[in-house]
Amino acid sequence: MALVWALAGIWVLSPVFGSLTVNGTRPNIVLLLMDDMGWGDLGVFGQPSKETPNLDKMASEGILFPDFYTANPLCSPSRAALLTGRLPIRNGFYTTNAHARNAYTPQEIVGGISDSEILLPELLKKAGYVNKIIGKWHLGHQPKFHPLKRGFDEWFGSPNCHFGPYNDKDIPNIPLYKDWDMVGRYYEDFIINHKTGESNLTQFYLQEALDFISRKRNTQQPFFLYWAIDATHAPVYASKPFLGTSRRGLYGDAVREIDFSIGKILGTLMQTGIANNTFVFFTSDNGAALISAPNQGGSNGPFLCGKQTTFEGGLRVPGIAWWPTHVTAGQISYQLGNVMDLFTTSLSLAGLDPPGDRTIDGLDLSAVLLESKVMDRPIFYYRGNELMAVRLGLYKAHYWTWSNSWEELSQGIDFCPGQNITGVTTHDQVEHSINPLLFHLGRDPGEKYPISVLSAEYQDAVIRISSVVKQHRDTMIPGEPQLNVCDLAVMNWSPPGCEKLGKCLTPPESKPWKCVWPH
């Protein structure tokens, strides 16, 4: 056993694993990352419609993680964290243009994933893996940020969200790529019907996954498949066979198609005989977008608020691990997990060490997966450049609170609809550094009842958490922010491959400006 991590006087034991080979090969790795899918969208977590039979079965055959988190309440930073194993404040996916603001990668953003960051597929590639991304990249759309330059061998998907349609004059429609070149644009070659919600995109993404698995099944090379689809991100979509089939409306239709697709992927792994050598993990990039609910957004179950916030509904996400004959079926693990752990754990399962020249925030969960152990660790809740809250054990302390501004609320923008809690879901940025708001998430998962500052329970918990916060802040070295500068000239005017399709557009003159992030 090796001492691998120390915090506030708590030493954590973790076994040192060598390469976990099966029949002489490294395990395949499949990460299923959903977009804005909420903790409460799965039947196994109590969704009354029970419309996720394949995911529920996946949980019964593997490990369910009720306490799994993302690294940020927004898409781009959480994806950067997953692929680097590092908090967005470290890997540069944040903004310093304003305090505690969420920032991501729309078309006009100039930045993207820094060359100084080392991504999971780059490390796996050196170990002989063949890597494919299917779906949304969202780590920068300029050619220099192309995923095939960052360790992926194949790509079918888009660099940005599927917003639109645009007129291709003021704003270009978003491209979809097949490997190095675009093969069309949303709303032109790949239709999403805003009126009906019909689109075949999930079926395209499913077929790409099945084809990739089938092609790689008999090769000697292990593979890494990153299936990052986006049907549950507004504008929500589903293919015709699934439209109108859910009790939950269009959003439920999208969930049902995703569940069907994951059933197909797991079934193909079984049928091809490679399931026992394939580690699969299912999760989401952030909590459900309640601003889009109920027609275009999901459920965060009992948790407070949703996407964009650092309340539980913004960062707690579903987590399921599946690996037949390696992961004992039917487990529920209360290990505090984070998407950044998928970076470190995937490397460990492949017999690799994480980079030693930088801070890695993700933990190796191999002992959790293979030996049913539980490790003490904190969860840090960041919003932009600010540490908003920290969870340690069952206690969560808020050092800052806010949902979104009064001005936005007056315009109908509400990240906590129907969940106004006085002094908690604040519409001003309120600092609580002297007396943090403290909640016990076992008794109060909805963060409705702050523990009295006068109680012994409060004093004991805050002392322990404060020690963690001090150590974290004392050792924090923020990365260069990548999400500060915008420019219309960098939008998807002429992506690689546009010449072959006759779809190149003329960009405007470059006039960069300081991006404005309202929340």
Residues identified as active-site: 75, 138
Token pair in block for residue 64: 């369910």
Cα–Cα dist 275/508, whole Å: 50
Token pair in block for residue 337: 């997990």
Comparing C-alpha atoms, which of 391, 348, 282 is closest to residue 54? 282
Cα–Cα dist 195/212, whole Å: 33
DSSP string across 460-477: HHHHHHHHHHHHHHHH--
Cα–Cα dist 52/63, whole Å: 16
Q: Is 361 annotated to bind ligand?
A: no
Place of tokens 């054990």: 393
Please tell me the total number of residues recorded for the chain in this structure.
Answer: 519
β-strands 437-440, 430-431: how paired? unpaired
Comparing C-alpha atoms, which of 284, 266, 285 is closest to residue 276? 266
Place of tokens 């999901």: 298
Q: How many CA atoms lie within 13 A of 179 on its CB side?
A: 3
Query: What stretch of H or E contains 239?
Result: none
Q: Is 75 annotated to bind ligand?
A: yes
Q: Is 353 annotated to bind ligand?
A: no
How many Å is the maximal CA-CA distance in the chain? 70
Cα–Cα dist 361/300, whole Å: 25
Is the CB of residue 155 less than 8 Å from the CB of residue 137? yes
Question: What ranges in 7-70 are assigned the alpha helix state H?
Answer: 53-60
User: Phi then psi for 356, rounded to 5 degrees?
Assistant: -95, 0
Q: How many CA atoms lie within 13 A of 76 on its CB side?
A: 27
Query: What stretch of H or E contains 64?
Result: strand 63-64
β-strands 331-332, 63-64: how paired? parallel
Token pair in block for residue 382: 């960041």
Annotated binding site: 35-36, 75, 285-286
Residues placed in the known binding site for Ca(2+): 35-36, 75, 285-286
